[in-house]
Structure 1
Amino acid sequence: MTEQTSHDFRTSALRAIRIERDAIEALEARIDDHFLRACETIMACKGRVVVTGMGKSGHIGNKIAATLASTGTPSFFVHPGEASHGDLGMITSQDVVIAISNSGNTSEVVTILPLIKRMGAPLISMTGNPDSVLAREAVANLDVRVDAEACPLGLAPTSSTTATLVMGDALAVALLEARGFSAEDFAFSHPGGSLGRRLLLKVSGIMHTGEQIPVVTEGTTLSGALLEISRKGLGMTTVVDAKGNLTGIFTDGDLRRTLDRSVDIHNTAIEEVMTRHGKTIAADHLAAEALNIMEEMKINALPVTDEQGTLVGAINMHDLLRAGVI
């Protein structure tokens, strides 16, 4: 094996990046009528988008199918070799097929074209050869040709697979925006991830309620409020009037400031030292919103109130941490 210096490694890497960057930039001119037709065909699809491709094109096709599926376009990948041995039954006339082949003449893909055409599923191709069999048979051909592979031998698919992947992302994003797909829609496809928790979890799902809420009424002494803080373990207590409406909050931070003033904790009413008109949140708001408020205000807890200002719950930073929102 030929020895290379660290400088040679760097030169090789930079050359590969530049070649692939040029391949991506060339795609801008390919967002043409074929691209628009592909988008319109998929938008009109009553079934699913079926992606197929061999070898490295298949790996890229898998990723494109996954991206489409997670951004509002139901999609899955079918291996063309397996399609010839039974998996073609997964495709219906209501579906749209995206076939990927750099040459546009890959035998395993070309073999199943007559069957796809016979069942009436519209075909979209992604090829590096607009004069190929695959491109000619498609209702739209997404041109992903490249001037050169990043591989100096011109053998390993590098620039071509990158261009195909980026074209697939462009297609997915165009469809996402056309459908009005939202962050909440995305979260429903990813309920197990941290993003899903941030976008789906409501305050009502993790707040403390009933007897778990630290609460004292106006007129309670500061010492009584401290006992409530200790009992409930949220680092604060809410303060309500006789009707149960929130009038203030007293936190560990308020306690430190109060003690600096040498206040008599046994004879001072809580309303004299509490924070009035503090931040609150509604139960139907996202837990992520509670986190944003806490971080912005540099506080560790929030009372939860209804539209009338009645106290219905409490939430603190530890609740958000346990729920995986942080």
Structure 2
Amino acid sequence: MPNQIDFQKVAIETLSIEQQALAVLAQQIDERFSRACEIILQCHGRLVVTGMGKSGHIGRKMAATFASTGTPSFFMHPGEAGHGDLGMLVRGDVLIAISNSGKSDEIMMLMPLIKHLGVPLITISGDDKGPMPQNADVALTLGEIHEACPLGLAPTSSTTATLALGDALAVALLEARGFTANDFAMSHPAGALGKRLLLHVKHLMHTGAELPKVSPDTPMNKVLYEISNKRLGLTTIVDDNGVLLGIFTDGDLRRLIDKHQGFDVNLPVSEVMTKNPLTISQEARAVEALEQMNEKKINQFAVVNDQQQVIGVIGMHDLIQAGVN
């Protein structure tokens, strides 16, 4: 039978120990951290991250974070590097090597070749006494921290601190590069943020033959045909130069029927259209269009250019279908 323990108490104790580890790490941030950032910023190649075992798992995440925040990076497995993958590392790269003990045999085996290539080496270890930090251009240390594992064996606090140090490097480099949310979106086009920042109205709006539009003297029977044929729930009303005069929606139709118990099919649309309707620019972000639709409680926008000519129509369905939220 398993021991009877207070699981919540253990969880809180674990988090407390790891918080202490981060506090210790914060005291280790000094000119070495600044030097590491400068070396990476001066790199003309890629930032290569390596580590064995749990350090390797942390290294993979670090490399992914660097790559998504403006620092080209990838992970190199030190064991595989000794069997050919060291070819991933070339002059002009920078190497971050992670080992809590600073003694990883797999990484130390690569040291002569790393030195031969002239690749700057940044190490992350518990202290600076091991052979890895002793051979490093910059030796970043975690400080004297205690593992949350009660046996003191499983990497817990040390991996948390290493991950946090990697995040600190990534954020410092991000700010130094002037990396923006738009830059982030460029490397995350399939994600929610990418859609919020990269999709604009012009990418989703209906144009050309799909664009519903009629002249102001068009009778209602033909207006209804245009709305039905284009399947967008409205039509724009434009003058001879394509300038927007108003819109007429299927909602306007329902309200017209309710008010007058029907309508004259020969009635010109100019007499019942909504004048000066809300419009949007094709350069507006799609998420802005959705937010404005929700705020104004409308389902469509006429898209106009600087001359107020209609160039498209965009509906809430288009935005939702594109995954904008």
Q: TM-score category by the smaller chain?
A: over 0.9
Q: Greater shift after overlay, 47-56 or 178-187?
A: 178-187
Which digits, 9 at most, give the CA deviation of each residue in 1:144-179, with x for residues without a partner?
A: 235211111111111111111111111111111111
Please give the alpha-carbon distance, in whole angstroms, between the structure 2 residues aligned to 1:276 and 1:40.
59
| SS of alignment partner, residue 301 of structure 2 | strand
Q: CA deviation at 1:268?
A: 4.6
| SS of alignment partner, residue 98 of structure 1 | strand
Residue 58 of structure 2: aligned partner: 60
| Contact 1:68–1:75 (CA under 8 A) maintained in structure 2 | yes
Runs of 4 or more consecutive aligned structure 1 residues displaced over 3 Å after TM superposition:
221-224, 252-261
Please give the alpha-carbon distance, in whole angstroms, between the structure 2 residues aligned to 1:28 and 1:254.
63
Q: CA deviation at 1:121?
A: 0.5
Residue 45 of structure 2: aligned partner: 47
Please give the alpha-carbon distance, in whole angstroms, between the structure 1 residues aligned to 2:59 and 2:145.
21
Q: CA deviation at 1:252?
A: 3.5
Q: Greater shift after overlay, 158-167 or 197-206?
A: 197-206
Q: CA deviation at 1:88?
A: 1.3
Residue 283 of structure 2: aligned partner: 284
Please tell me the residue identity of whatever aligns with 2:245. T
Please tell me the residue identity of whatever aligns with 1:277. N
Q: CA deviation at 1:215?
A: 1.5
Please give the alpha-carbon distance, in whole angstroms, between the structure 2 residues aligned to 1:37 and 1:308.
54
Q: Greater shift after overlay, 65-74 or 240-249?
A: 240-249
Please tell me the residue identity of whatever aligns with 1:205. H
Residue 293 of structure 2: aligned partner: 294
Shift of the 89–249 alpha-carbon distance from structure 1 to 2, 3 Å rule, reads same
Q: CA deviation at 1:24?
A: 2.1
Please give the alpha-carbon distance, in whole angstroms, between the structure 1 residues aligned to 2:168 and 2:112.
28
| SS of alignment partner, residue 161 of structure 2 | helix
Please tell me the residue identity of whatever aligns with 2:215. T
- Are 1:131 and 2:125 counterparts? no
Please tell me the residue identity of whatever aligns with 1:97. L
Please give the alpha-carbon distance, in whole angstroms, between the structure 1 residues aligned to 2:90 and 2:16.
42
The RMSD of aligned alpha carbons is: 2.0
| Contact 1:52–1:97 (CA under 8 A) maintained in structure 2 | yes
Residue 158 of structure 1: aligned partner: 156
Q: CA deviation at 1:264?
A: 5.6
| SS of alignment partner, residue 261 of structure 1 | helix
Which digits, 9 at most, give the CA deviation of each residue in 1:207-247, with x for residues without a partner?
A: 11122112122123445433322222112221212221012
Q: CA deviation at 1:69?
A: 0.8
2:185 to 180, 184, 187: 187
Q: CA deviation at 1:263?
A: 7.2
Residue 88 of structure 1: aligned partner: 86
| SS of alignment partner, residue 34 of structure 1 | helix
Shift of the 313–160 alpha-carbon distance from structure 1 to 2, 3 Å rule, reads same
Please tell me the residue identity of whatever aligns with 1:195. L
Q: CA deviation at 1:325?
A: 2.2
Please tell me the residue identity of whatever aligns with 2:320. L
Residue 167 of structure 2: aligned partner: 169
Which digits, 9 at most, give the CA deviation of each residue in 1:248-279, with x for residues without a partner?
A: 22233434444443376326543343333322
Q: CA deviation at 1:289?
A: 2.6
Residue 316 of structure 2: aligned partner: 317
Please tell me the residue identity of whatever aligns with 1:305. V
Please give the alpha-carbon distance, in whole angstroms, between the structure 2 residues aligned to 1:67 and 1:83.
22
Q: CA deviation at 1:73?
A: 0.6
Identity of aligned residues (%): 56
TM-score by length of 2: 0.92
Please tell me the residue identity of whatever aligns with 1:4. Q
| Contact 1:221–1:265 (CA under 8 A) maintained in structure 2 | no
| Contact 1:56–1:157 (CA under 8 A) maintained in structure 2 | yes
Residue 270 of structure 1: aligned partner: 269
2:213 to 184, 192, 215: 215
Structure 1 regions of 5+ residues with no counterpart? none
Please give the alpha-carbon distance, in whole angstroms, between the structure 2 residues aligned to 1:142 and 1:273.
73
Q: CA deviation at 1:186?
A: 1.6
Alignment size in residue pairs: 324
Please give the alpha-carbon distance, in whole angstroms, between the structure 2 residues aligned to 1:146 and 1:313.
63
Structure 1 segment 227-246 matched on structure 2, within 5 A: 227-246=225-244
| Contact 2:232–2:315 (CA under 8 A) maintained in structure 1 | yes
Please give the alpha-carbon distance, in whole angstroms, between the structure 2 residues aligned to 1:182 and 1:275.
40
Q: CA deviation at 1:136?
A: 2.3
TM-score by length of 1: 0.92
Please tell me the residue identity of whatever aligns with 2:41. M
